[in-house]
């Protein structure tokens, strides 16, 4: 059983599944064993376009059969619309978890679930924005902003790992690909560029 958490809905979503299939197929052949059956769970938020993803499945299955023959798998693919900051699977269920470019997304989990994606501390007590002109940590961001994003990431990532640790079998594998910066004094400039572009667009609309 394997899961791709934050799979999105483009061709990338199935690319990772086919890479994992390749590895298992090759490993099974090398030890002369029948390839195991697969359960693949594609997880994303409920707003993800799962229909677009499911529409890619017939071609994906056909390619798989042509490439690996009918003795491969079978590979059962399902969509799981739920935040990965919640329990998504039963205890000791998954053998492998993959997630790429998804766990660095902000997701503040509070009781009402109303306010996801906004870390506490970006707005002062009287409602004033503390990170004006930026959409993430930037050179001009005050110290509190660095702290607010760091605290939020720490909370979210710890929760993600805690939840998955319950859902995975012991000795299961996990591959996470995420973006980050080693040094909070040297923030990722892509977000500064994106922030100033968004600001220009807003100014154009409002002027």
Ligand X SMILES: C[S@@+](CC[C@H](N)C(=O)[O-])C[C@H]1O[C@@H](n2cnc3c(N)ncnc32)[C@H](O)[C@@H]1O
The yes or no reply on residue 102 touching ligand X (CB under 6 A) is yes
Q: Report in angstroms how near the CB of residue 11 gets to ligand X at its nearest.
A: 9
Q: Report in angstroms how near the CB of residue 33 gets to ligand X at its nearest.
A: 30
Site mask for ligand X (CB under 6 A), range 47-66, x = bound: -x------------------
The yes or no reply on residue 152 touching ligand X (CB under 6 A) is no
Q: Are the C-beta atoms of residues 169 and 95 closer than 8 Å to each other?
A: yes
Say how far apart CA 122 and CA 21 lie, in whole Å: 43
Strand partners, 96: 2, 173
The yes or no reply on residue 44 touching ligand X (CB under 6 A) is yes
For residue 74, the surrounding DSSP H or E stretch is: none
Window contacting ligand X (CB under 6 A); options: 57-65, 96-104, 138-146, 198-206:
96-104
Give one DSSP letter per residue of 83-114, joined into a string. Answer: -TTS--S-TT-EEEEEEES-TTS-----TT--
Which value, to the nearest 10 degrees, does the dihedral of the CA atoms of residues 10, 27, 58, 103 take? -20
Q: Are the C-beta atoms of residues 21 and 38 closer than 8 Å to each other?
A: yes
- In the chain, the DSSP E strands lie at 2-5, 38-44, 75-81, 94-100, 168-177
Give the closest residue to 97 by CA, choosing from 16, 198, 10: 16
* # binding residues, ligand X (CB under 6 A): 16
The yes or no reply on residue 12 touching ligand X (CB under 6 A) is yes
Q: Using CB atoms, what's the residue nearest to ligand X? A: 6
The yes or no reply on residue 157 touching ligand X (CB under 6 A) is no
* Identified binder of ligand X from the candidate list 28, 39, 68, 83, rule CB under 6 A: 83
The yes or no reply on residue 45 touching ligand X (CB under 6 A) is yes
* Identified binder of ligand X from the candidate list 37, 101, 140, 197, rule CB under 6 A: 101
Q: Which is nearer to ligand X, 105 or 191 (CB)?
A: 105
* Identified binder of ligand X from the candidate list 7, 53, 168, 176, rule CB under 6 A: 7
10 Å CB burial of residue 85 (0-12, 13-18, 19+) is: middle
> Which residues contribute to the site for ligand X (CB under 6 A)?
6-8, 12, 43-45, 48, 83-85, 100-102, 105, 107
């Amino acid at each position: 059983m394997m899961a791709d958490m934050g799979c999105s809905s483009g061709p990338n979503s199935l690319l990772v599944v086919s890479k994992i299939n390749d590895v298992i197929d090759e490993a099974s052949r090398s030890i002369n064993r029948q390839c195991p059956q697969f359960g693949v769970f594609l997880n994303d938020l409920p707003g993800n376009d799962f229909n677009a993803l499911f529409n890619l499945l017939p071609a994906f299955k056909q390619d798989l059969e042509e490439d690996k023959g009918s003795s491969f798998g079978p590979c059962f693919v399902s969509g799981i619309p739920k935040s990965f900051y919640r329990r998504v699977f039963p205890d000791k269920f998954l053998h492998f978890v993959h997630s790429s470019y998804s766990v660095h997304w902000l997701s503040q989990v509070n009781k009402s679930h109303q306010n996801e994606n906004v870390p506490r501390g970006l707005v002062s007590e009287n409602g004033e924005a503390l990170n004006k002109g930026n959409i993430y940590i930037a050179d001009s961001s005050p110290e509190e902003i660095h702290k607010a994003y760091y605290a939020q990431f720490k909370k979210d990532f710890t929760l993600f790992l805690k939840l998955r640790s319950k859902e995975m079998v012991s000795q299961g594998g996990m591959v996470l690909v995420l973006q980050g910066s080693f040094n909070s004094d040297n923030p990722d400039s892509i977000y500064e560029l994106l922030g100033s572009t968004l600001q220009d667009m807003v100014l154009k609309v409002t002027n």
